[in-house]
Amino acid sequence: MNFTLLSTAFSIFLLSVCLVLVRTSDVKSKPAPEKGQNVCAYQRVKTQLVLRRNATSTRNLKIVDCGIPSFPKLKCKEERNETKIYWYPVREFIHYNIFDCCPGWIGYKPKVGCKERVPCGVAIPQKAPLHCHESRGKDLTKHRGIYKLGHVNNLPFPMSDINAYLLINLTLADPFTETWMKLYGYMLKKNLALIQSFPKTNTKEFTKIFDYEGVYHFFIKQQQNEEMVRPFFRFPSQEEPFKSVINNITWREDRVFTEQRLAGLNPMSLMKVTSGQDSVGVKWSDLKSRLNQNYDWDAAVTRSLGKNILLEEAIADGSIFVAQYPVFDNLVTVPDITEHRPTRKMWPAMSPIALFVSRPGKSGAPAQLRPVAIQLDYTPDSQVYSPEDGDLWALAKESFQVTDFAYVEMVEHLLKTHLMMEPFCVCVLRHLSKLHPLHQLLKYHCRGLLPTNKVGFPKLVDDKAYMHQLFAIGNIGAVTLLVRAYQTLTWADTDFRAKNKARGIDDRSKLPYFPYRDDGEVIYQATEDLVNDYVNFYYAADNDVLEDHEIQGFANEVSSDGLGSNGGQGKLRGFPASITSKAMLADIVTRLIWTSSAQHTAVNYPITAYGAFTPNMPTKMYDDDRVAPEVFNPFRLPNGFVSAVQAGVAMSLGSLRIDRLFDYGARLMEQGGRVIVLKHYNRLHSKVKPLLDNRNKQRFQEGYLTYPYLSPAWIPNSICT
Ligand SMILES: [Fe+2]
């Protein structure tokens, strides 16, 4: 009994000690100058348990024998008082003061005080120490003096309004961008020299497909001839399972032509054709008005599907897909500045329409997309050819590739990634302090974009520059394309999942093979997971987002709905002028990273495997006096000089990779963000990469085009080529 009481008392004592330790907390501070400079007294409260004594007494009465022998029957009252003592714990609050540095100061020494400022670390602005607000503001004011949004040559989309030489010098002076800038400059200079020297050493006219193979191999070999820079100039087509089209057979195959809509340089144009009230894809009523009604589309679908069916029945079944380019309707054709022989006549710019059908596999095998026919232009009197038409079909495919090539470069690549991201990357510099957690993250996804656009844009679209040399639409048509496509550009263009749904390409039974869609989803999910963790770490509640004046200023300037002196400069329609929740912020950051990394990779890097080889993706086509009208012959392709320009430009766009997705975790300034990014990078390489690599092995074994581009090892963080 005694032992039990003792142990209970001891336990209560221990508990009370623990509570005293745990419950101590600051209440508030106030300056205590008498204790030294910048010293505050902090009121603290601690709780401790004390044992209180409680005693209860009871009185018992009993009638007992009095015990007097002479009166044996005499009864007496016996009165007994009992006292019980209880001990019980009581919580006590104890108020006391401690002295330490006032907020914003560190290094407390008794009697001397605190003379050191707290360093300004990574934080959202409202959580930064007060004295850091001033330095953050000064930095931003300086940046706003350098980086501004303006307009180049009266074009409607905003670009950075900064002198090119100043921008290049700033980029070279910053260790963060210096290596990239040097590599980029080295690459552009080298490819320009190769383009200029190629015609001097290759004077013979191209007469065979083999001659074009030679251009391809010459340029790709030259990218890797210097050992020092070789790690930055690598090609998945050389290191991964890859079905090369660089020969005289593969690029001609209908299967390869079709699969390039799903895993090639432009996986963005294929859409489902839908009838009735279906709001996804392309409405049949709209498409029908563009098609040649004298052509027997029913027969063409029947041939491709291998069974008797009307086109409208196949549409109702969800089996018909189309690739078309309405922004090419009535586009200008410029005089040919690269071919002076009167015996060769360049084909004009066209707006082709290609129909495809999803054909069910035999004995339960997956469905496959097959070409139905190609209409050469968008007007209903245009000629239409199908796979049974021999050389005319080959010519129709080439003509289609010409438009697809110019479209993907100008609209999907230049406009929807490079120019889409430009206002964001300018506004990261203008509004987010270097110590803002999202600046810390986004700077890796903006690295090199502004100089690339500043240098690359005129190289593409100036008079007699690359677009003028390469395509029948020339520089004038290229700019017209940009301006036309910009009219409908909105923030919704960055929404990977919603766009796939709106295109009607999410039906896996009809399109089981679609590597851009499927591998893209895995990367999108991985990006979203990282961003959610990152945003949740730095923002405890939605209110933190609302009170972050830096991120709100950023949104206000980018959005077309922004207000005030800098509001709306980014002119981006559909982008919110204020960000109201953590979920909204995470969605925005996910889409910015997706656009800069995987989406740009998808519409850029396959150019070296598909767009650097003229027969697969020619930039122009010709009528040549030596070739009959219905015959395909290499004389119909651009000359050797144009082919060299094409290969040189393709290599300048698709060879340089300076980093890989999310590889910067260890270099982040703040421990919390560092741990999050490292965790997701490791997951990307230990789980996602093997998954996607296995998919590609299987695709290769089954004879499909593989899609190494969205494997994490081949996705750079930013748009910098
Ligand atoms: Fe690019």
535 alpha carbon – ligand 1 mean position (Å): 28
40 alpha carbon – ligand 1 mean position (Å): 55
Q: What angle do CA 565, 568, 574 make, to 5 degrees?
A: 160
720 alpha carbon – ligand 1 mean position (Å): 6
Q: How confident is the model at residue 17 (pLDDT cuts 50, 70, 90)?
A: very low
Which residues of the chain does CATH 1.20.245.10 include?
142-269+325-348+390-714
- Lowest-pLDDT range of 3-7, 127-131, 716-720: 3-7
176 alpha carbon – ligand 1 mean position (Å): 19
CATH code: domain 142-269+325-348+390-714 is 1.20.245.10
pLDDT of residue 70: 84
pLDDT digits (tens, 9 = 90+) for 432-471: 999 999 999 999 999 999 999 999 999 999 999 999 999 9
- Lowest-pLDDT range of 112-116, 171-175, 689-693: 112-116
- pTM for this entry: 0.88
pLDDT of residue 276: 77
pLDDT of residue 5: 47
286 alpha carbon – ligand 1 mean position (Å): 32
pLDDT of residue 259: 98
460 alpha carbon – ligand 1 mean position (Å): 12
Q: Do residues 530 and 586 lie in contact, with contact meaning Cβ atoms separated by under 8 Å?
A: no
The arithmetic mean of pLDDT across residues 307-312, rounded, is 96
d(CA 48, CA 591): 51
Q: Do residues 558 and 572 lie in contact, with contact meaning Cβ atoms separated by under 8 Å?
A: yes
Q: DSSP letter string over 507-566?
A: -TTT----HHHHHHHHHHHHHHHHHHHHHHHH-SSHHHHHT-HHHHHHHHHHBTT--SSS
The arithmetic mean of pLDDT across residues 568-587, rounded, is 98
pLDDT of residue 11: 52
- Lowest-pLDDT range of 6-10, 684-688, 703-707: 6-10
| Percent over 90 (pLDDT), the chain | 87
Q: How many CB atoms lie within 10 A of CB 178?
A: 12
* Coil vs helix vs strand at 359: strand
Using CB atoms within 10 A of its CB, is residue 337 exposed (0-12), middle (13-18) or buried (19+)? Answer: exposed
pLDDT digits (tens, 9 = 90+) for 331-363: 999 999 999 999 999 999 999 999 999 999 998
pLDDT of residue 90: 93
pLDDT digits (tens, 9 = 90+) for 600-612: 999 999 999 999 9
247 alpha carbon – ligand 1 mean position (Å): 26
Q: How confident is the model at residue 3 (pLDDT cuts 50, 70, 90)?
A: very low
209 alpha carbon – ligand 1 mean position (Å): 28
The rounded mean pLDDT for the chain is 94
> β-pairing, 271-274 with 282-283?
parallel
pLDDT of residue 66: 86
- Lowest-pLDDT range of 29-38, 528-537, 683-692: 29-38
The arithmetic mean of pLDDT across residues 388-406, rounded, is 98
168 alpha carbon – ligand 1 mean position (Å): 18
pLDDT of residue 67: 85
pLDDT of residue 152: 87
Q: How confident is the model at residue 27 (pLDDT cuts 50, 70, 90)?
A: low
| Percent over 70 (pLDDT), the chain | 96
- Lowest-pLDDT range of 109-113, 614-618, 692-696: 109-113
**Where would I find the beta strands (DSSP E) of 229-315?**
271-274, 282-283
Alpha helices in 105-174 (DSSP H): 130-146, 164-173
282 alpha carbon – ligand 1 mean position (Å): 28
Q: Do residues 322 and 355 lie in contact, with contact meaning Cβ atoms separated by under 8 Å?
A: yes
